[in-house]
């Protein structure tokens, strides 16, 4: 009887434990399902959440002025191209290039044209042309100019392209202009709410400073827009060096006319030398004539002095004539 009661108690405890365990599992599952349902109601799903984060990151990078952030957006470049080529007819080539560039880019403008005459040949010119072309047509114009000389029996001397990245400067200028305009609107709002003359004058002074900065930044931004919209292309044309034939000397015989001209030229040269000598003597005679006169008087005085001081020779008596001898 006691053993049966023990089995009954164990059965009741086991059954009660199983019931409690089942209730606990049901409660945990319900709470988890409720939390999941609430989470689903507050957020549509993982993909929209990721998309929203990406958009926020893009907005933050757009407001940043770091060069690395600008690499994800458009690039703003300033390009200049210089092409040097030698052609046969520089005048005709300059006219052809002008016509082609204006036809290819109707918005292009000429920024300078220089003609310089070749000192060795009056019919040849060194020509320099400068154009401002649209950035969209720049690649086509560069390709045409790089192959023009070869296709027209000329020679490409050099092609130099300079590229300057102004993306960071452009983005920073735009951001600064946006901030200054916001400051301008804030000062205008404060101007309407000012209640004293001192506040009005202070706000007006700050507003004047901000508007001056806005005007300066707008000028810089317009200049940058012009540089990134139109590129500068310079073309230097020079005539091709043509080798002139060297004349070969020809042997010639005796020519009396040439001899006469040679002798005449020598005689003229000697006559010119003698005339030049006479001119020199005439000019220097103011010194030569007095010196010659002084020398002549000095010589005469010396001779006269020598005659006076010279002793007279003694007279020797003449010997008597000899008598003939008589044998």
Residue 288's pLDDT band, with cuts at 50, 70 and 90, is: confident
Given a contact cutoff of 8 angstroms between Cβ atoms, the answer to whether 142 and 241 are in contact is no
Alpha helices per DSSP H over the chain = 2-42, 46-63, 67-70, 90-104, 135-151, 167-193, 197-229, 256-309
Condensed to tens digits (0 to 9), the pLDDT of residues 221-271 reads: 999 999 999 999 999 999 987 544 455 555 556 788 788 888 888 889 898
Please state the domain extents for the chain.
1-43, 75-241
140/132 Cα distance (integer angstroms): 14
pLDDT tens by residue, 159-195: 999 999 999 999 999 999 999 999 999 999 988 888 8
Reported pTM? 0.50
Question: Does residue 68 register a pLDDT over 60?
Answer: no
Distance of CA 277 to the CA centre of its chain: 61
Short-list 66, 56, 57, CA closest to 175: 66
Q: Distance between CA 81 and CA 108 in Å, rounded?
A: 14
Q: Give the span between the Cα atoms of 191 and 204, in whole angstroms.
A: 7
β-sheet with 155-165: strand ranges across: 109-118, 121-134, 230-239, 77-87, 155-165
Per cent of the chain over pLDDT 90 is 35
Q: Which residue has the higher pLDDT, 11 or 187?
A: 187
3-class secondary structure, 133: strand
CA distance 89 to 237: 9
At 126-157, the pLDDT tens digits run 999 999 999 999 999 999 999 999 888 899 99
* Interatomic CA distance for residues 228 and 111, integer angstroms: 16
Kind of pairing between the strands at 155-165 and 121-134: unpaired
pLDDT (0 to 100) of residue 230 = 94
Measured distance CA(227)–CA(169) in Å, rounded: 13
Higher pLDDT, 101 or 287: 101
């Amino acid at each position: 009887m006691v053993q049966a009661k023990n089995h009954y108690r164990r059965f009741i405890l086991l059954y009660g434990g199983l019931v409690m365990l089942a209730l606990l599992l049901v409660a945990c599952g319900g709470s988890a399902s409720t939390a999941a349902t609430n989470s689903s109601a507050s957020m549509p799903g993982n993909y929209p959440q990721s998309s929203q984060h990406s958009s926020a990151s893009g907005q933050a990078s757009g407001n940043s002025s770091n060069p690395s952030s600008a690499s994800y957006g458009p690039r703003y470049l300033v390009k200049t191209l210089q092409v040097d080529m030698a052609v046969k007819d520089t005048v005709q080539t300059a006219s052809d290039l002008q016509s082609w560039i204006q036809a290819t880019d109707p918005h292009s403008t000429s920024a300078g044209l220089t003609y310089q005459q070749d000192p060795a040949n009056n019919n040849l010119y060194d020509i320099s042309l400068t154009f401002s072309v649209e950035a969209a047509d720049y690649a086509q114009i560069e390709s045409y100019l790089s192959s023009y000389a070869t296709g027209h029996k000329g020679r490409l001397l050099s092609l130099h392209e300079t590229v300057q990245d102004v993306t960071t400067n452009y983005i920073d200028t735009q951001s600064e202009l946006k901030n200054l305009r916001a400051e301008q609107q804030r000062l205008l709002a404060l101007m309407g709410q000012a209640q004293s003359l001192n506040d009005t004058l202070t706000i007006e002074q700050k507003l004047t400073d901000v508007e001056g900065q806005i005007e300066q930044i707008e000028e810089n931004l317009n200049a940058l827009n012009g540089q990134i919209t139109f590129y500068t292309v310079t073309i230097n044309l020079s005539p091709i060096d043509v080798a002139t034939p060297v004349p070969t000397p020809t042997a010639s015989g005796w020519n009396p006319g040439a001899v006469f001209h040679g002798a005449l030229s020598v005689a003229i040269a000697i006559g010119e030398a003698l005339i030049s000598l006479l001119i020199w003597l005439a000019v220097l005679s103011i010194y030569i004539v007095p010196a010659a006169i002084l020398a002549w008087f000095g010589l005469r005085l010396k001779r006269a002095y020598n005659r006076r001081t010279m002793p007279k020779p003694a007279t020797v008596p003449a010997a008597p004539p000899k008598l003939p001898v008589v044998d």
